[in-house]
Each structure stands twice: as C-alpha cells, then as structure tokens.
C-alpha cells in the first residue's frame, strides 16, 4: 500500500494506493525550476518505508524531434568488418529548454531480427554489429529508426534506413596489352 504523508506540499499531489504512481492533484503554482517536496510511504508485509521526493517543475515539451531526411541510404560491402560505420542519422528538436530538446535514437528491432546493426543512442551512428550473411534475395537491408526527445511528454519521429549490400567479390585485375584490354 502506498500513500503520501500530510507534510509540506502533499496537497498538490495524489498517490495511487495500489501502484504508487504519483500525479498532480491540483494546478501547479510554482515557476519552472522550483521544487515541491513530498514524503511517500510504502507499507508491505508489516514493514514501512519512507522516501522523501523532490519534484522539479519543468517546461512542457512542445516540439517533437524531426529527422533531417525521411530515408537515409548507406552502402556496405558484404565482407565489411564488424564495427564499421554505415551512416549517421540526425534529428533536431526546436524546444527552447535543453532537456526537452535532447534527442535519443533507437533502431526498430522487428526490422533487423538478426541484430546485424546497432545504433549509438546519443550520436545516431549506425554500425555493423554482426557479420553479414548475404543472400541474393536481400541486396538492400531496410531498417527503421526512432528519435525520441528527453521531454515530458515524450515526443518522437520515425525515419527509414536503406543499406545497399555490395557483393562484388575477389580482386578485379586489369591486364593491358597494346590491342586488347582484359579483365579477370
């Protein structure tokens, strides 16, 4: 069972007694950057725990991140080494508050069930995570990427990634003589 103690700023918040989720009970009157202090109580199997919480007033997240392109395209040779950079995606968020404008990136797992690619959540750099097993029926790998901002509520954007897998194998040697050009 969860509850809030009747101290300080408790009247501004309510706590669900079953889940412990805290929500606002009335209009927030403090300015951005100010804090409210409450004390949460959890009771389980006869044991009581108290936790003092500081809730900081923040700006509402207005803008979603927006990718610079709807589709990003990259190329990779089938024999590329694990860890090689394929491309970089980028999304911008126009929120004036830095924490609302922070952007994090995530690959959509269903599009890459074999886990061949990974993405740095902070930079948007896509790298090869596993060796490629090229099949002729899959010359282009299609992925999805989501950009999520750091605000509340969270806002997001989606873009596609297409990676062309090049399959030219062996060394191309050019032999020249005076009359003919031979390729082997």
pLDDT digit string, tens, across residues 37-63: 999 999 999 999 999 999 988 888 999
What letter would DSSP give residue 81? P
Q: Is the pTM of this model over 0.85?
A: no
3-state secondary structure of 101: helix
Residues 6+ apart with CB under 8 A from 28: 12, 57
* pLDDT tens, residue by residue, 121-164: 999 999 999 988 755 567 888 999 999 999 989 999 999 999 99
């Amino acid at each position: 069972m969860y509850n809030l103690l009747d101290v300080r700023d408790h009247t501004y918040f309510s706590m669900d007694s079953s889940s412990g989720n805290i929500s606002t009970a009335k209009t927030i009157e403090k300015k951005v950057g100010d804090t409210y202090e409450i004390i949460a109580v959890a009771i389980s199997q006869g044991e009581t725990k108290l936790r003092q919480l500081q809730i900081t007033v923040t700006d509402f997240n207005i803008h979603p991140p927006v990718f610079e392109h709807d589709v990003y395209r990259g190329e990779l040779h089938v024999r590329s080494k694990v860890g090689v950079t394929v491309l970089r995606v980028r999304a911008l968020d126009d929120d004036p508050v830095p924490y609302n404008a922070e952007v994090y990136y995530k690959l959509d797992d269903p599009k890459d069930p074999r886990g061949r690619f990974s993405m740095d959540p902070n930079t948007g750099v896509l790298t090869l995570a596993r060796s490629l097993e090229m099949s002729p029926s899959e010359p282009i790998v299609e992925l999805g990427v989501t950009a999520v901002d750091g605000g509340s509520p969270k806002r997001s954007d989606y873009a596609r990634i297409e990676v062309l897998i090049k399959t030219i194998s062996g060394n191309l040697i050019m032999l020249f003589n005076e009359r003919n050009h031979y390729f082997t």
